[in-house]
Structures are given as structure tokens and as C-alpha cells.
Amino acid sequence: MPPLRSSDATRFATGVLNVDKAAGETSFAVVNRLRRLTGARRVGHAGTLDPLATGVLPVLFESATRLAEFALKLPKTYVADIHLGFVTATDDAEGRLEPVGDPSDLATADVESALQEFTGRIQQQPPAYSAVKVDGKRAYRLARGGEPTRPAPREVEVYEARLLDFQTGPRAVAQVEVRCGSGTYLRSIARDLGQKLGVGGYLGRLVRTAYGPLTIGNSVRLEQLVEPDAVRDRLLPAEVILPEMERVRLNVEQEAQVRQGRPVRVLPEPAPGQLRAHDAEGRLVALGHTDPLRRTFVPEKVLS
């Protein structure tokens, strides 16, 4: 991949940091710590992880923050411990345990069979304690105020769900791996799997092991980053969080025009659809689309 560069000496570099978020810390707190450490003007994240969850959290620096909406389209992979026999108001281990049924008679085949019903495009009801809005208010605020209400079901996509391990007994635990699209709640899968099995369920340990091409094996913990250069050295090019799209190459004159928001004619002529434009050295310059009538690349988001 081409080297990263800052647009000028006063800005931090543009790029993506693959952070392994620790348990107990919010995604917002991770962003704040990195902003203070680096002095970057713009820092954000793509895809919130609950405080109890750990694993891959893409942190975006400078112009890369403008690509967050595209990053959310990438598939995510999670490994989750689903505890059976109990439910909680929060659908995870933070709530008070309420016994529902004895899972001792459940076999591995029972869990595997039930789990397959949560693949494909499914209707999923978000947890009562979630950031989904209900009548203009966050569901978790209503729940904390004594007005717990289940947000309306919505469609999510689960590409794959498989059972990794099953510990039988009255405190049965199913360890599952789920590969899914944006907006999928693992807490809801835990709750609904327990309901399907007739014994109740809630989410325990949750690790996001992959976010698109970013994996936990290539991530970095915050305690490893003690100075700005340590962050800069671990930055990945912004395009790692983009879904697949056709690339167009700009010469120097075309790049200057695109940076001013002007459409340009590029060869070979790209197919209709979303495009990403790179400069002569391979660095990402802009995202845009094809104008089939004028046969031009039309920039939509220009990166500094």
C-alpha cells in the first residue's frame, strides 16, 4: 500500500487505527483518549462497541472520518458467549438474572438447529437498553427512567451463525460465531435464541474479531500507544474501510480539478456506480460516481 501522508505539517495523518477495545471502556472514551494523545483535529469511530464488549474498533483520523458511513456497510464478525436458563432486562450480564427454564436437557444439536433460524435477512427487535430511538427518545434513556419499552423490530442481515462450543448443564453456555451486517444486536440474538430454546438467554462475553478486513490479530491495545508517533506508525490507509468499488486513476491535472469538486473525464471509462479515485501515486483522493451522460467521474467526498 502507498505511504500515508499528512496534508500539511500542522495536521495529524489521515488513516485508520485498528484498536482492540478493552472491556469496561466506551467507544467514545477510546476516541477521546486518542484525540488527546495525538492532537488530531478530527477523530471518530466506525461501529460502536458496548462497554462490556471487546475487540476490533476502527478509529478514524482526519479525512478518514468522512468515510464512516461506508465503513458501516462492511461485515462484522463476533464471538459471543450466550448463557441459557436466565434472562435480564438489559439482555446481557449487566442486568439482574431472572430464571426461566432449566437448560440441562439441551443437546448440541438443539442449539445448532435453533441458531440457524437466525441467519439471512431477519426481523430483529433491538434491546430495551439500546440507542435506538422510540418516539424521538433513546430507548436506554426511557428504560433507565422506568419506562422500559421494546423498540420496533427491524430487518438485519446475518450472513453466518455457527456454534463453536456448548457447555451443558443447568448453567449452559453456547459459544457462537456470528458474521453479520450493520445494526445487528448480538444481545438480541442471545435473548431470542434462549426464547427459541424455551429456557431464556442473555449475552455474556462478546468479542468483535473482525470488521471487514480488520482483524483482532492485527489490532493494537491502547496501552501500547504512549506517543503520537506510535499511533502514526500503526495507521492504515483510509481505503481499508471501504467496501469493494471500482478504482479510477487521476493524473496531476485531473487530481487538481477533483480537489476543487469538478467532474473529470477518465480513461478507461468506468462502469456506472460508486467509484473511488486515486492519485498518480495510488493514494485515495475522492469518492464519487459515474455520470453516464457526460461520461465523467463526479466527486462526492474529497479527502484532504
* Within this chain, domains 15-73+213-241 and 246-302 share the same CATH topology: no
User: Where do runs of H (alpha helix) occur along 132-185?
Assistant: 139-144
Instruction: Encode 218-256: b = buried (16+ Cβ within 10 Å), e = exposed.
Output: ebbebeebeeeeebbebbbbbbbbbeeeeebebeeebbe
The active-site residue out of 20, 50, 81, 92 is 50
Nearest to 60, CA basis, from 73, 69, 52: 69
DSSP E strands, 185-278? 201-211, 214-215, 246-249, 274-278
8 counts as catalytic: no
**pLDDT string in tens for the chain (304-residue length):** 444 443 444 578 999 999 999 999 999 999 999 999 999 999 999 988 988 999 999 999 999 999 998 898 899 999 999 999 999 999 999 999 999 999 999 999 999 999 999 999 999 998 876 666 665 666 656 656 666 677 788 999 999 999 999 999 999 999 999 999 999 999 999 999 999 999 999 999 999 999 999 999 999 999 999 999 999 999 999 999 998 889 999 999 999 999 999 999 988 888 888 999 999 999 999 999 999 888 899 999 998 7
Task: Identify the CATH homologous superfamily for domain 76-208.
Answer: Pseudouridine synthase (3.30.2350.10)
Architecture of domain 15-73+213-241 in CATH?
2-Layer Sandwich (3.30)
CA atoms of 129 and 125, how far apart (whole Å): 11
CA atoms of 213 and 197, how far apart (whole Å): 34
- CA dihedral of residues 272, 278, 280, 281 (deg, nearest 10): -150
Parse the chain into domains and list their residue ranges.
15-73+213-241, 76-208, 246-302
246-302: what CATH class?
A: mainly beta
Are the C-beta atoms of residues 235 and 13 closer than 8 Å to each other? yes
